[in-house]
Structure 1
Amino acid sequence: MKASIELTMSPLQDDYEQHIIKFIKTLRDSEFEVLENPLATQIYGDFTPMMNFLTKEMAKSMEETKAVLFYMKVVKTDRHDYEPFF
């Protein structure tokens, strides 16, 4: 089953930027399609492998930070090629 996931990572510490950059680079190096914008990062692919990957990488990020928030939206379908119709 294909899925689209939007992620926002918010480390709650002064050196937050380095943790966000490291996490995004990990996403970029994955087998999944990744699109970025200034507010969030979207990742697209097969749901179960993508969630397994994200679970592992989010756990690593949590171990490396004092406190971190992850905001996640999940949509059942691959929406990477969405274009407004209006």
Structure 2
Amino acid sequence: MKASIELTMSPLQSDYEQHIINFIKALRNSKFTVMENPLATQIYGEFVPLMEFLTKEMAASMEKTKAVLFYIKVVTTDRSDYEPFF
């Protein structure tokens, strides 16, 4: 099953920018479709492999930060081709 996932990473420390950059670079280097905007990052692909990948990358980020929040939204369809209709 296809999935669209929106992520926001919020490291709770003063040097937060580099942690976010490293996480986004890991997403970009994956086999999945990644789209970014100033507030969140969307990633698209098959649900199980996508979640396995995100679990690994999120765990790696958690090990490198003092405390980090991940906000995640999951939709069970590939919305990577969405275009506003209005």
Query: What TM-score range do you get, normalising by the shorter chain?
Result: over 0.9
Structure 1 residue 84: deviation in Å?
1.1
Residues 1:29 and 2:29 are matched in the alignment: yes
TM (norm. structure 2) is 0.99
Q: 1:17 is matched with which residue?
A: 17
Q: In the TM superposition, what are the counterparts of 1:51-70 in structure 2 within 5 Å?
A: 51-70=51-70
Aligned partner of 2:25: which letter? K
Task: Give CA deviations for 1:9-57 in whole Å, capped at 9, x if unaligned.
Answer: 0000000000000000000000000000000000000000000000010
Residues 1:81 and 2:85 are matched in the alignment: no
In structure 2, the gaps of 5 or more residues are none
User: After TM superposition, where is structure 1 displaced by more than 4 Å over at least 4 residues in a row?
Assistant: none
TM (norm. structure 1) is 0.99
How many residues are paired up? 86
Give the CA RMSD over aligned residues. Answer: 0.4
